[in-house]
Amino acid sequence: MTNKKEINAGIIVIGNEILSGRTQDTNTSTISEWLNTIGIKVMESRAIPDIEKYIIDTVNELRNKYNYVFTTGGIGPTHDDITAKSISRAMGLIYGPHKEAMSILEKYYKSGEFNEGRQKMAWMPTKANLILNPTSGAPGFNVENVFCLPGVPSILKAMLGGINNKLIGGDPILSLSIKLRTVESEIAQSLQIIQDSNQKVDIGSYPFFKAGKLGVSLVLRSVNQSDINNCAIQIKDMIKEKKIEILEEI
């Protein structure tokens, strides 16, 4: 049975390095794919700078708009890591050294290495719940429906498993990808007809260029496998009628 209530989320990517183009954001796709498996649909993703007002305004907007909000970046030891302080202010909470986080980091570093900069990684809303970090020690945190994660992709990915029991999801969002040797204009009208008759399936159309040839990847997403299967049959009938080559089906 499918859950009637859709569980959704927003993602906030925080960091000047993302907006400048120096660093490529891969965290949005990592979080989105993970949330799909536990039935949480990402409705929006924003990239914003390391500016307190932007962080406060965006966090407050999205936490009132969605069931969950995930932030990435800005919880490290440097001067521009202001996410924890900004979120404390956004939610009217005391910002300071978190006792449990301080204890974790004191044990993680060798004697004399837990300097002032590293201590900053333990500063956050003092009553926050920690998100444990199995890779580098420094924890993330969550307050109410806001979850704050690091910006380093490998560390973020390692921490996601520790959040599963803190989230209430819906039915897992399933998907099927069909790659075609065609162009979007060739299938646009037929695809619209199929979408109109399959309201429980989201059909995405994404052009690609590979080995000097154009193609289109169709991605079908739904919480119900039979709905995906029925939609796929209609798409394959359309493909056969138009004599379009299927390159791959995943």
206 pLDDT higher than 50: yes
- Mark whether 14 and 138 lie in a shared domain: yes
The count of domains in the chain is 2
**Domain for residue 222, yes or no?**
yes
Q: Write the CB contacts of 235 (distance below 8 Å, at least 6 apart in sequence).
A: 178, 191, 194, 203, 218, 220
- Mark whether 151 and 193 lie in a shared domain: no
**Domain for residue 2, yes or no?**
no
> Which residue among 138, 166, 194 closes a domain?
166
Half-sphere exposure at residue 155, Cβ-oriented, CA atoms within 13 angstroms: 18
**Domain for residue 73, yes or no?**
yes
**Domain for residue 1, yes or no?**
no
Instruction: Give residue 212's pLDDT.
Output: 81
- Mark whether 156 and 187 lie in a shared domain: no
List pLDDT tens digits, range 145-193.
999 999 999 999 999 988 988 998 888 889 999 999 999 999 999 999 9
Q: What is the pTM of this model?
A: 0.82
Q: How many helical (H) and strand (E) elements, i.e. helices and strands, does the chain have?
A: 9, 12
- Mark whether 125 and 180 lie in a shared domain: no
**Domain for residue 147, yes or no?**
yes
231 pLDDT higher than 90: yes
> Which residue among 166, 192, 227 closes a domain?
166
Q: Across-strand partners of 174? A: 222
What is the SS3 string spanning 155-219? HHHHHHHHHHHHCCCCCCCEEEEEEEECCHHHHHHHHHHHHHCCCCCEEEEEEEEECCEEEEEEE
- Mark whether 57 and 162 lie in a shared domain: yes
- Mark whether 37 and 156 lie in a shared domain: yes
Mean pLDDT of the chain: 93
- Mark whether 156 and 52 lie in a shared domain: yes
3 pLDDT higher than 50: no
Sign of the alpha-carbon torsion through 179, 184, 186, 188: positive
Percentages helix, strand, coil for the chain, rounded to the nearest 5?
40, 30, 30
2 pLDDT higher than 80: no
Q: Write the CB contacts of 182 (distance below 8 Å, at least 6 apart in sequence).
A: 214, 215, 216, 242, 244, 245
- Mark whether 54 and 104 lie in a shared domain: yes
**Domain for residue 35, yes or no?**
yes
Q: Write the CB contacts of 151 (distance below 8 Å, at least 6 apart in sequence).
A: 13, 14, 15, 27, 72, 73, 74, 75, 76
For residue 68, give the nearest of 42, 33, 37 by alpha carbon. 42
- Mark whether 84 and 115 lie in a shared domain: yes
User: To the nearest whole percent, how much of the chain has pLDDT over 90?
Assistant: 86
- Mark whether 144 and 115 lie in a shared domain: yes
Give the single-character DSSP code of 6.
P
- Mark whether 69 and 182 lie in a shared domain: no
- Mark whether 41 and 142 lie in a shared domain: yes
164, with CB counted inside 10 A (0-12, 13-18, 19+), is exposed
List pLDDT tens digits, range 7-25.
999 999 999 999 999 999 9
> Which residue among 139, 166, 193 closes a domain?
166
Range of the domain at 51: 7-166
Q: Report the CATH number at residue 22.
A: 3.40.980.10
- How far is the C-alpha of 220 from the C-alpha of 204, rounded, in Å? 6
Q: Report the CATH number at residue 190.
A: 3.30.70.600
- How far is the C-alpha of 122 from the C-alpha of 99, rounded, in Å? 8
